[in-house]
Protein backbone atom coordinates (compact mmCIF):
# COMPACT_ATOMS: atom_id res chain seq x y z
CA UNK A 1 0.00 0.00 0.00
CA UNK A 2 1.38 3.38 -0.99
CA UNK A 3 1.12 6.20 1.50
CA UNK A 4 0.25 9.67 0.31
CA UNK A 5 2.76 12.20 1.61
CA UNK A 6 1.28 14.73 4.01
CA UNK A 7 1.60 18.27 2.72
CA UNK A 8 3.64 20.38 5.12
CA UNK A 9 2.92 24.08 4.98
CA UNK A 10 5.63 26.68 4.56
CA UNK A 11 4.77 27.83 8.09
CA UNK A 12 5.77 24.41 9.44
CA UNK A 13 8.79 24.02 7.15
CA UNK A 14 10.50 27.39 7.52
CA UNK A 15 8.99 29.98 9.86
CA UNK A 16 11.24 32.86 8.76
CA UNK A 17 10.57 32.17 5.10
CA UNK A 18 6.83 32.04 5.89
CA UNK A 19 7.07 35.48 7.53
CA UNK A 20 8.92 36.96 4.55
CA UNK A 21 6.43 35.41 2.14
CA UNK A 22 3.49 36.69 4.18
CA UNK A 23 4.92 40.22 4.35
CA UNK A 24 5.51 40.22 0.59
CA UNK A 25 1.95 39.04 -0.05
CA UNK A 26 0.54 41.70 2.28
CA UNK A 27 2.60 44.43 0.60
CA UNK A 28 1.42 43.36 -2.83
CA UNK A 29 -2.16 42.99 -1.55
CA UNK A 30 -2.14 39.33 -2.60
CA UNK A 31 -4.95 38.31 -0.28
CA UNK A 32 -5.67 35.12 -2.17
CA UNK A 33 -2.28 33.65 -1.36
CA UNK A 34 -2.26 34.44 2.37
CA UNK A 35 -2.13 31.71 4.99
CA UNK A 36 -4.92 33.24 7.08
CA UNK A 37 -5.07 30.60 9.80
CA UNK A 38 -1.42 30.92 10.78
CA UNK A 39 -1.44 34.69 10.25
CA UNK A 40 -4.37 35.07 12.66
CA UNK A 41 -2.63 32.82 15.20
CA UNK A 42 0.58 34.85 15.00
CA UNK A 43 -1.21 38.17 15.44
CA UNK A 44 -3.09 36.81 18.46
CA UNK A 45 0.23 35.63 19.90
CA UNK A 46 1.64 39.15 19.61
CA UNK A 47 -1.00 40.43 22.04
CA UNK A 48 -0.46 37.51 24.40
CA UNK A 49 3.28 38.14 24.29
CA UNK A 50 2.85 41.74 25.45
CA UNK A 51 0.57 40.59 28.26
CA UNK A 52 3.07 37.95 29.37
CA UNK A 53 5.87 40.49 29.31
CA UNK A 54 3.84 42.91 31.44
CA UNK A 55 3.01 40.15 33.95
CA UNK A 56 6.63 38.99 34.18
CA UNK A 57 7.97 42.51 34.64
CA UNK A 58 5.32 43.29 37.26
CA UNK A 59 6.16 40.15 39.27
CA UNK A 60 9.84 41.04 39.24
CA UNK A 61 9.10 44.67 40.13
CA UNK A 62 6.97 43.61 43.10
CA UNK A 63 9.51 41.01 44.17
CA UNK A 64 12.32 43.54 44.33
CA UNK A 65 10.22 46.22 46.00
CA UNK A 66 9.33 43.66 48.67
CA UNK A 67 12.97 42.72 49.13
CA UNK A 68 14.04 46.35 49.33
CA UNK A 69 11.39 47.08 51.95
CA UNK A 70 11.43 43.97 54.11
CA UNK A 71 14.80 42.24 53.75
CA UNK A 72 17.38 43.86 55.96
CA UNK A 73 20.42 43.18 53.80
CA UNK A 74 21.91 46.58 52.99
CA UNK A 75 24.57 45.09 50.72
CA UNK A 76 21.77 43.96 48.38
CA UNK A 77 19.81 47.24 48.24
CA UNK A 78 21.68 48.63 45.26
CA UNK A 79 21.02 45.56 43.10
CA UNK A 80 17.34 45.46 44.04
CA UNK A 81 16.88 49.15 43.30
CA UNK A 82 18.65 48.71 39.96
CA UNK A 83 16.27 45.87 39.09
CA UNK A 84 13.29 48.02 40.14
CA UNK A 85 14.48 50.79 37.82
CA UNK A 86 14.96 48.36 34.91
CA UNK A 87 11.50 46.83 35.34
CA UNK A 88 9.87 50.25 35.58
CA UNK A 89 11.60 51.37 32.39
CA UNK A 90 10.50 48.17 30.63
CA UNK A 91 6.90 48.55 31.80
CA UNK A 92 6.81 52.23 30.75
CA UNK A 93 8.07 51.34 27.26
CA UNK A 94 5.60 48.49 26.96
CA UNK A 95 2.69 50.74 27.98
CA UNK A 96 3.90 53.51 25.66
CA UNK A 97 3.80 51.09 22.71
CA UNK A 98 0.55 49.44 23.82
CA UNK A 99 -1.46 51.88 25.98
CA UNK A 100 -4.42 49.48 25.95
CA UNK A 101 -2.40 47.29 28.35
CA UNK A 102 -2.94 49.78 31.20
CA UNK A 103 -6.20 48.19 32.39
CA UNK A 104 -4.52 44.78 32.20
CA UNK A 105 -1.93 45.99 34.71
CA UNK A 106 -4.70 46.34 37.31
CA UNK A 107 -6.32 43.07 36.32
CA UNK A 108 -3.18 41.01 36.95
CA UNK A 109 -1.80 42.97 39.91
CA UNK A 110 -3.15 40.69 42.66
CA UNK A 111 -1.96 37.53 40.92
CA UNK A 112 1.46 39.11 40.29
CA UNK A 113 1.68 40.03 43.97
CA UNK A 114 0.82 36.46 44.99
CA UNK A 115 3.58 35.17 42.70
CA UNK A 116 6.13 37.70 43.97
CA UNK A 117 5.20 36.85 47.55
CA UNK A 118 5.84 33.13 46.92
CA UNK A 119 9.26 33.96 45.50
CA UNK A 120 10.40 36.21 48.34
CA UNK A 121 8.99 33.99 51.09
CA UNK A 122 10.81 31.03 49.61
CA UNK A 123 14.08 32.92 49.23
CA UNK A 124 13.94 34.76 52.56
CA UNK A 125 11.95 32.63 55.04
CA UNK A 126 13.52 34.44 58.00
CA UNK A 127 11.78 37.72 57.04
CA UNK A 128 8.12 38.71 57.32
CA UNK A 129 6.26 39.90 54.22
CA UNK A 130 2.70 41.30 54.18
CA UNK A 131 -0.07 39.04 52.87
CA UNK A 132 -1.51 41.95 50.89
CA UNK A 133 0.26 44.74 49.03
CA UNK A 134 0.73 47.52 51.61
CA UNK A 135 1.29 50.40 49.19
CA UNK A 136 -0.60 52.07 46.38
CA UNK A 137 -1.08 49.74 43.44
CA UNK A 138 -1.94 52.65 41.16
CA UNK A 139 0.09 52.30 38.00
CA UNK A 140 1.66 55.75 38.36
CA UNK A 141 2.74 55.00 41.91
CA UNK A 142 4.12 51.62 40.91
CA UNK A 143 6.22 53.22 38.20
CA UNK A 144 7.44 56.23 40.16
CA UNK A 145 7.28 55.93 43.94
CA UNK A 146 10.24 54.64 45.91
CA UNK A 147 8.15 52.94 48.59
CA UNK A 148 11.17 52.28 50.81
CA UNK A 149 11.65 56.03 51.25
CA UNK A 150 8.16 56.66 52.62
Cβ atoms 129, 71 nearer than 8 A: no
pLDDT in tens, 25-48: 999 999 988 999 999 998 888 878
d(CA 94, CA 55): 11
Position 100 scores a pLDDT of 92
Dist CA 53 CA 96 (whole Å) = 14
The domain segmentation of the chain, as residue ranges, is 1-34, 49-149
* Residue-wise pLDDT tens digits, 131-150: 999 999 999 999 999 999 87
Query: What integer pLDDT is reported at residue 33 of this predicted model?
Result: 86
Instruction: Provide the pLDDT confidence category of residue 10 given band limits of 50, 70 and 90.
Output: confident
Instruction: Give the 3-state secondary structure of 57-108.
Output: HHHHHHHHHHHHHHCCCHHHHHHHHHHHHHHHHHHHHHHHHCHHHHHHHHHH
Q: Say yes or no to pLDDT of 101 above 70.
A: yes
Over the stretch 38-86, which tens digit does the pLDDT of each residue have? 999 988 888 789 999 999 999 999 999 999 999 999 999 999 999 999 9
Amino acid sequence: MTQTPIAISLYEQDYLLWIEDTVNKLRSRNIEGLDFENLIEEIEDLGRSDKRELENRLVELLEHILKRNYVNMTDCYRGWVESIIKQRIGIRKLLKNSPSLKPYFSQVFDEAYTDALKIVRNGYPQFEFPDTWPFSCDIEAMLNVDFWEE
